[in-house]
Amino acid sequence: MTGEELIPSLQSLEGRLLFAVPKKGRLLSASLNLLEGADIQFRRENRLDIALVKNLPIALVFLPAADIPTFVGEGRVDLGITGFDQVQEHDAGVRQTSRARRLSNADGPETDGKVHGCETVLDLGFGACKLQVQIPAKGEYAEPKDLIGKNIGTSFVHLAHEYFARLELEQEGATNGERIDLAGRKLRTKIMELSGSVEAACALGVADGIVDLVESGETMKAAGLKAIDTVVESSAILIKSKNPSNPKMVALIAARINGVITAQKYVLCQYNVPRTRLADAVKVTPGKRAPTVTSLEEEGWVAVSAMVEKKRLAPVMDDLAMVGATDILVLDIHNTRGS
């Protein structure tokens, strides 16, 4: 292959499923591990944001996590990995834009007749974090409603808008039965868009509070902030367009990725146990569907193997020993399918 052939042309994308992957940041490395586990082979040329997959009719598109819901939602890309928070922010933005459009009676068709939007296919089990309302730990504010009418710094402007719209409505005593238009509400609170290092906004006096992501809480603590509410709980998800170019290929990739995630979550636990204690042992390791039980050459003993969630492994091994299991082995699962 020459260097030129490595640069995908629009023609070379024809017939290929487009799969968006975060190009940088917190989700990049776990996303690349998933692709490797799913045997999606590619070589990304320096500075190129499109890479052709060698062994499948797929092209990977490397995009900022925040833009992936837009590309997938508009059907430009078939599949994508991004944060649930980003999908929620995108959807809140769509609600606000379409409301503004309706109000201004914009000319022209609002849709092209295709079904738009994205659907969650799988939770990928990494990138867990919370979008939280934060205020100075030692300051004049104590609860979310104290921030009404104040300055809020965030990269999640649409979610922040809806959050404070709801808060303002509650403060005004809006009835629950009322159909509430959060997207269209004009706010007393000022939402300021910041693109990064949002935590610095309070310390610098730019904002009275912020809405930003928290995982370990280290960044928040270092900035002298504390969380007073959670707007969204997030983790990385696989999303698909409602109108994918090749639904069969979407299903194949989803099945492969699901196999990798399941393998990462489980181990295979094998042990020997007297047949008289089998029922108790099976209660400890019921497996995903059921454990495999085989006879041993030794009279009155059986061998059991069952998938066990990694996070439950230590207590499961304790309980197995208690019911009389011996020779307990734990094996890593490299990949799975159909589980």
Ligand X SMILES: O=P(O)(O)OC[C@H]1O[C@H](OP(=O)(O)OP(=O)(O)O)[C@H](O)[C@@H]1O
Ligand Y SMILES: Nc1ncnc2c1ncn2[C@@H]1O[C@H](COP(=O)(O)OP(=O)(O)OP(=O)(O)O)[C@@H](O)[C@H]1O
From the list 137, 133, 147, the residue with the least C-alpha distance to 231 is 133
**Which residues within the stretch 13-42 sit at the binding site for ligand X (CB under 6 A)?**
25-26
In the complex, least distance from residue 129 CB atom to ligand X, rounded to whole angstroms: 7
**Contact pattern for ligand X over residues 192 through 211, marking x by CB under 6 A:** ----xx-x------------
Q: Which stretch binds ligand X (CB under 6 A): 29-37, 115-123, 214-222, 275-283?
A: 214-222
Count of Cβ atoms closer than 10 Å to residue 137 Cβ: 13
Out of ligand X, ligand Y, none, which partner does residue 127 contact, by CB within 5 to 8 A per kind? ligand Y
Only segment of 42-50, 65-73, 191-199, 285-293 that touches ligand X (CB under 6 A): 191-199
- Distance between CA 199 and CA 272 in Å, rounded? 54
User: Which regions of the chain does DSSP assign to beta strands (E)?
Assistant: 17-22, 50-52, 58-63, 79-83, 118-123, 129-136, 151-154, 190-193, 209-214, 225-234, 236-241, 266-274, 292-295, 301-309, 326-332
93 interacts with ligand Y by CB under 6 A:
no
What are the Cα distances from residue 226, in Å, to 148, 183, 281? Answer: 17, 27, 46
234/262 with CB nearer ligand Y: 234
Q: Is 234 in the site for ligand Y (CB under 6 A)?
A: yes
Please select the residue that binds ligand Y; options are 193, 215, 298, 309, rule is CB under 6 A. 215
Least CB distance to ligand X at residue 153 (A)? 11
Helix (H) or strand (E) holding 159: helix 157-171
Task: Report if residue 262 touches ligand Y, rule: CB under 6 A.
Answer: no
**Residue 7 DSSP one-character state:** S
Phi-psi region of 193 (alpha: psi -120 to 50; beta: other; left: phi over 0): beta
Of residues 46-65, which lie at the interface with ligand Y (CB under 6 A)?
64-65
The CB-of-120 to ligand Y minimum distance in angstroms stands at 13
Q: Does 25 bind ligand Y (CB under 6 A)?
A: yes
- The CA radius of gyration of the chain, in Å to the nearest whole number, is 25
Q: Which is nearer to ligand X, 211 or 317 (CB)?
A: 211
Give least dist CB 165 to ligand X, A: 23
Question: Which one, 191 or 213, has the nearer CB to ligand Y?
Answer: 213
Distance CA 304, CA 328 (A): 10
Task: Annotate 108-122 with b (16+ C-beta within 10 A) or e (fewer).
Answer: eeeeeeeeebbeebb
Count of residues of this chain found to bind ligand Y when the rule CB under 6 A is applied: 17
Binders in 217-236 for ligand X, by CB under 6 A: 217-220
| Strand-pair category, 301-309 with 266-274 | antiparallel
Interacting residues toward ligand Y by CB under 6 A? 24-27, 64-65, 83, 85-86, 127, 129, 155, 195-196, 213, 215, 234
Residues in contact with ligand X by the rule CB under 6 A: 25-26, 196-197, 199, 212-220
